Chains A and B, each alone.
Chain A
Amino acid sequence: MNIQAMAQDVPVEGEHTVEGIDFITSGDQYLTFLLAQEQYAVDILCVEEIRSWEQPTKIPNAPSYIKGVINMRGIIVPIVDLRLKFNIGKANYLETTVVIVLTYQSEEKSRTIGFVVDAVSDVLNVESVDIKPAPAFGGCVGQQYIDGLINSENKVVTVLNVAHLQQVEKHRLQG
């Protein structure tokens, strides 16, 4: 799948090091995808590539949502199953199951992690004013992962915070 074509004329490369979403530029583009039947979105500038699912190499004693690591052109990239992490739906691995590889450049370092989702759906053009804060009424997804909500036609899309998604929680040995 060619993300460049989906994003049309938005350059994927470039100096986009603003935390989370750049609210200053109007008309940002978001890649939306499905977890169970729900729509989620991430800033398209963080998307490195979209891959089909392949069985990763397991990391010993890692939490169940960390499926392991894969080789992406010589780089070791961990794979996180978002459905398991957020506890949404079933973690099936079907033909349509894809991995969205996101790179987030923080001040100290850049981190690349692949996220397993049910399917990629669309690219949304969104004015920053159209991203509304999410009501704090729980749900499976922790508040820190959510940047806001977008109304798209009659559906609601949850915008995820890539910086927080990228944070790897220290996992302890399971004994």
Chain B
Amino acid sequence: MSVDLSQFIPSFLEESFEGLELMESGLLNLKPGDNETIHSIFRAAHSIKGGAGTFGFDSVTEFTHLVETLLDEMRDGRREVSSADTEILLESVDCMRLLIEAARDEQDYDHDKVSTTSARLSETLGGQQSTDSDSENESNVNKNDGCGYNIKFIPEHSLAKTGNDPIFLFSALAELGELTISANTEELPALMDIDAQELYFSWELTLITTAEEAEVIEIFEWVEDECLLELEPIVNKANEEPTNNISDVADGVINELSVESSLGEIENQEVLASTKVDNEPETATGEKSKTSKTKAKADLGSIRVGVDKVDSLINLMGELVITQSMLSELGNDFDMSKVERLTSGLEQLLQNTKEMQESVMRIRMLPISFAFNRFPRLVHDLAIKTGKTMELVISGEQTELDKTVMEQIGDPLVHLVRNAADHGIESKDVRLANGKPEKGTISLDAYHQGGNIVIEIKDDGAGINRQTVLDKAIDKGLIDANAILTDSQVYDLLFEPGFSTAAEVTDISGRGVGMDVVKRNIQALGGRIQVESVLGKGSTFKVNLPLTLAILDGQLVKVGTETYIIPLISIVESLQIDNQLINRVSGDMVLYRLRDDNVPVLPIYQMFNLETECTEIDKALLVVVEGDGQKVGLMVDDLLAQQQVVIKSLNDNYQQVSGISGATILGDGSVAMILDIPGIINMALEQAQKIQRVRTDGNSNVAAEVCL
């Protein structure tokens, strides 16, 4: 019978990547004498090797074998754990990842890297190891020259205690050919002396077969050391050569066996390829290549969900069913006397649905440790590259985050951590000179705040030099030389395209391309990034992200006939406009005085070209929102309800629309657009610039149209 195992490849891959992460984090924290960690690293490598062999990922098996051997030496205490070995092993983990990914995608990999690392591993192992693990010396040995064997099988009395039963051995033998058995009962003691758990018989067997000697011995493989086994071929000279060949072909029995060589000792013989009865001759190698052809399906984007989450979902489902049956019973025979029960039933339904929704969302939530766990390695490598001493402190790694957000936040975080290591942390000498501890600290923290997750990347390095940033920005023409900027405005310059503060461009943080991309990526996720810094003390980058991309808490607003949704996260406050606080400045700009701030007013109806009766600013409502650290007041006709909405993309059937982040379907089935606050602020800025250009061109008509 044939069993298709390819369906298990995705789970093997997932497990392997987890294993690699475990190896990596283990290696990074490895201290000499820490046997438990070495054991767990070894186990991970061992499992990967085992699985890879099963699926025919030979390159992975071969390479991992070397890694395993090295780890085995460490495990047995034959080798001290040195930092050089740890480095090689870390590099090997990278190679294994490369090889597994290549096997998964059926792609080629970086042979140079793998062979270099492989060579270094072999060198470390003392050049004793061959890269080939188990399949040495394929040869045809022990050809069956005759037509069968005489077998003498004298087991030890205790054979049954390891669970072996001669009957099964004999029936396995009988499958190879014609078997005659005779038992020798000489050793059977007197009835009184019999121990029911002991075995007193021995046997002489005659097996007429074309099978190889190794095949026969293999059957006794597990009991070899618990018995006396003699095997003697029966040679029939008359029909030796030709018969042998003919019968081989006729039965289609494969005679190629790959046998592990070990000084010819029978007990060490290991038959790797099973002998298969098949109509087509098939060799051991043929079998292998068949397995490797099994398609490794790419990551199906599966998610592993804790049983507790599924259980809570099932519980909720149960409650929902109860509510539903209660409601439908009510509906069968409804009269006004039951209104109260109906109301409470509907309330219950609302509660159930809400909890159900939260529970379903939780399924997509994973602890942020999935994104954090690559950083110890990164910081370790960065420390080596920069020659600085630093350590990484991670906290809040159990904080949960939507899987999609997690996948997309990885790269921006890497960049921020690199930035901290490269630009933040000072060199050892500078730190000592400034009275700081020699070792710099980068800390990563995550916590929930409202409906958001906040990720902090903090370093105790030099901090951001305000003046340096300003000089550079003026130098690059990003700002006017006379501009007066607040600290946070100055820090925001770091995220401008083409800005870099490092005195020297390094290969770690790159050439200043990146921080702007970091910001863009975070914004694309509906998040924002803020910087706090104290010169000489260090900087903190705070990334604020929505927990999920699928659902949003929104404020519904009315503009003309249209309903829009403003994400609650970006709303600072909503207010009735007080005429006294409106200021028209610089000709066409309308500012609203909000305590100390002057907030520019953006009339949505104008920006979106809508018709409304509510064009007078003092009749409208102002929703003050913040995006990109900039506060603006959105002028709307009316505030409606607040509710959670499911975000639908406009991209699927249409395209990205500026000022709009997506759409949703309201309770009445109609579509409402969700406002993209940073997008709207940008639109307003672009519009303002256009007007200014037009104005300097001497044409004020267009400007007049836009201003209030």
A61 adjacent to chain B (CB < 8 Å):
yes
Measured between beta carbons, the chain B residues less than 8 angstroms from A75 are: 648, 652-653
B127 adjacent to chain A (CB < 8 Å):
no
Measured between beta carbons, the chain A residues less than 8 angstroms from B525 are: none
Question: Which partner residue on chain B sits nearest A54 by CB separation?
Answer: B670
Residues in chain B within 8 A of chain A (CB atoms): 562-563, 607-610, 648-650, 652-655, 657-660, 663, 665, 669-673, 683, 686-687, 690, 706
* A170 to B607 Cα, complex, angstroms: 18
Q: Which of A6-14, A19-27, A66-74 contacts B (4 or more CB under 8 A)?
A: A66-74
Contact B562 A58 (CB under 8 A): yes
A174 adjacent to chain B (CB < 8 Å):
yes
Known: A71-B665, A175-B706. A61 touches B658 (CB 8 A): yes
* A56 to B670 Cα, complex, angstroms: 8
Question: Which partner residue on chain A sits nearest B656 by CB separation?
Answer: A170
Give 8 nearest A-B pairs by CB, closest first: A60-B608, A57-B671, A78-B654, A71-B665, A76-B648, A71-B671, A76-B663, A112-B653
Q: State the Cβ distance, B19 to closest chain A Cβ, in Å.
A: 35
Partner of B654, one of A168, A173, A175: A168
Q: State the Cβ distance, B472 to closest chain A Cβ, in Å.
A: 32
Question: Which partner residue on chain B sits nearest A56 by CB separation?
Answer: B671
Contact A61 B609 (CB under 8 A): yes
Contact B607 A60 (CB under 8 A): yes
Measured between beta carbons, the chain A residues less than 8 angstroms from B608 are: 58, 60-61
Partner of B653, one of A62, A68, A113: A113
Measured between beta carbons, the chain A residues less than 8 angstroms from B563 are: 57
Contact A74 B665 (CB under 8 A): yes
The B interface, classified by DSSP as helix, strand, loop or mixed, is mixed
* A75 to B652 Cα, complex, angstroms: 9
A89-115 interface bits toward B, Cβ cutoff 8 Å, 1 = contact, 0 = none:
000000000000000000001011100
Measured between beta carbons, the chain A residues less than 8 angstroms from B669 are: 71
Contact A59 B654 (CB under 8 A): yes
* Interface size class of chain A, counting residues whose CB lies under 8 Å from the partner chain: 20 to 34
Among A61, A71, A76, A109, chain B packs the most CB atoms within 10 A around the CB of: A76
Q: State the Cβ distance, A81 to closest chain B Cβ, in Å.
A: 15
Measured between beta carbons, the chain B residues less than 8 angstroms from A175 are: 686-687, 690, 706
Q: What are 29 of the A-B contact pairs (CB < 8 Å)?
A: A57-B562, A57-B673, A58-B562, A59-B650, A59-B654, A59-B660, A60-B657, A61-B609, A61-B658, A61-B659, A62-B657, A68-B671, A69-B650, A69-B654, A71-B665, A71-B669, A74-B648, A75-B653, A76-B671, A77-B653, A78-B653, A112-B653, A168-B654, A173-B683, A173-B686, A174-B609, A175-B686, A175-B690, A175-B706
Contact B673 A59 (CB under 8 A): yes
Q: State the Cβ distance, A95 to closest chain B Cβ, in Å.
A: 21
Q: State the Cβ distance, B604 to closest chain A Cβ, in Å.
A: 9
Known: A60-B657, A76-B648, A112-B653. A71 touches B610 (CB 8 A): no
Q: State the Cβ distance, B698 to closest chain A Cβ, in Å.
A: 18
Measured between beta carbons, the chain B residues less than 8 angstroms from A70 are: 671
Contact A173 B658 (CB under 8 A): yes
Measured between beta carbons, the chain B residues less than 8 angstroms from A174 are: 609
